[in-house]
Amino acid sequence: MGMEKQQGLVVSSWQEQDLSSICLRAKVLAFDLDTTLARSKTRMTEPVAFQFATMTRIMPVAIVSGGRFEQFQEQVLDVLPVETNRFNLHLMPTSGTRYYRWDGGNWSQVYAHDLSEQDRHAAAASLQRRAQELGFWEEKTWGPRIEDRGSQITFSALGQEAPVDKKEAWDPTNEKKNALTSAVAGDLPHLQVRSGGSTSVDISARGIDKAYAVQKLAGILDIAIDQMVFVGDRMDPDGNDYPAAQAGTMALRVSDPQDTLTLLQRMEPLLMSKS
C-alpha cells in the first residue's frame, strides 16, 4: 500500500481534543459500527439515526466495520430516515474488505477481496482449536461461533446472536480476545488477525484492515487521509479501529453510541459553519 503507519500512537477521547480545529479540516466522516453507532448487533437508536442522517447531508460519511453487509442493512440502513443522503454514504463491511455504494435504487458492491477456500478453512480450524485450548469455547452459545463471510472469517465467542448484555460482559477488558488473536496469528502469519467487536476475532487478507479501508476511501474521494475523521470505540493498540488512526486519520475515541451522539451534536454546528 505504500503507507507508513504511526507507531506508539495514543488516541484520546474526543472530549480531550480540539473539535473546532478538527471540523475545520474535515472533509469526510468515517465510523465504526458496533459500540460506536449502535450496541453490538442491535439497531441504531432513533436519535443516533437522525443525527447520522444529518451528517450525510453535510459531507461524505462512511461506515467501516467487521460486520457483514447484512448487519449494516439491519443495524443502520433499515432505520435511517428518508432525509438521509444515501449518495453521500460509503459502506465498507468486513473491515473494508468489501465496499458498497448507493446507485439510486440499490446498494451495489464495488469490490470484494475474498479469501481462498484453503485460507478460510485454515482460519476456521485455528480459531476453534485455539479457543478450545484457551478455554474460550463456551458451552452456551446463541447461533454459530464461526462465520465465513467470504472476505473475512469471524469468531464470536457466544455466537452471532448472543444477547447484548451477555456479549458486553464476556470480555470487558479485551484480554480474552487479545489472547485468542495472538494465538491464531501465530498459526496464520500470512493473514490479518485482529480483535474485533465485544466477543469477536476477525481474520482477513493481510494488509486489508481499517487502515487499508480509509486509505482506499481517501483515494476514491480524492482527499488527503488527514482530512478524514474516524470515530470508533476500539482505539487501543489491540483494537480493530486503531489501524485507521495509525493510517493518519483524525481519530476520535468514543465510549458508546450515546457518546457518539453527543459528539455529532457538537460537531454539527462546527461543520455547518464552514459551508
pLDDT of 239 over the 90 cut: no
- Does the annotation mark 256 as catalytic? no
* Residues forming CATH 3.30.1240.20 domain(s) in the chain: 117-205
Could you tell me the CA-to-CA distances from 196 to 16, 53, 154, 218, 271 in Å, in that order?
Answer: 25, 25, 9, 23, 30
pTM over 0.75: yes
pLDDT of 100 over the 80 cut: yes
Q: Read off the pLDDT of residues 45-79 as tens digits, 9 standing for 90 and up.
A: 999 999 999 999 999 999 999 889 999 999 999 99
Helices of type H across the chain? 19-25, 46-56, 69-75, 117-134, 164-170, 175-187, 210-221, 242-246, 257-272
Q: What CATH architecture applies to the domain 117-205?
A: 2-Layer Sandwich (3.30)
**Catalytic position from the list 18, 34, 78, 165:** 34
pLDDT of residue 1: 38
pLDDT of 7 over the 60 cut: yes
d(CA 72, CA 67): 7
pLDDT of 3 over the 60 cut: no
Q: Read off the pLDDT of residues 9-31 as tens digits, 9 standing for 90 and up.
A: 999 999 999 999 999 999 999 99
Confidence of residue 106 (pLDDT cuts 50, 70, 90): very high
- Does the annotation mark 238 as catalytic? no
pLDDT of residue 21: 97
Confirm whether residue 148 is marked as ligand binding.
Answer: no
pLDDT of residue 60: 98
Residues in the chain: 275
Q: Read off the pLDDT of residues 119-174 as tens digits, 9 standing for 90 and up.
A: 999 999 999 999 999 999 999 999 999 999 999 999 999 998 999 999 999 999 99
- C-alpha torsion angle, residues 23, 17, 174, 29 (rounded to 10): 0
Confirm whether residue 200 is marked as ligand binding.
Answer: yes
pLDDT of 225 over the 50 cut: yes
**Catalytic position from the list 18, 32, 222, 241:** 32
Confidence of residue 2 (pLDDT cuts 50, 70, 90): very low
Residue given cell 479485551 in the structure block: 174
pLDDT of residue 5: 60
pLDDT of 275 over the 80 cut: no
Q: Which class in CATH covers the domain with range 14-113+208-272? A: alpha beta
* Residues forming CATH 3.40.50.1000 domain(s) in the chain: 14-113+208-272
d(CA 245, CA 226): 10
Least reliable range by pLDDT among 74-83, 119-128, 243-252, 266-275: 266-275
Confirm whether residue 32 is marked as ligand binding.
Answer: yes
pLDDT of residue 217: 96
Confirm whether residue 34 is marked as ligand binding.
Answer: yes
C-alpha cell at 111: 469490490
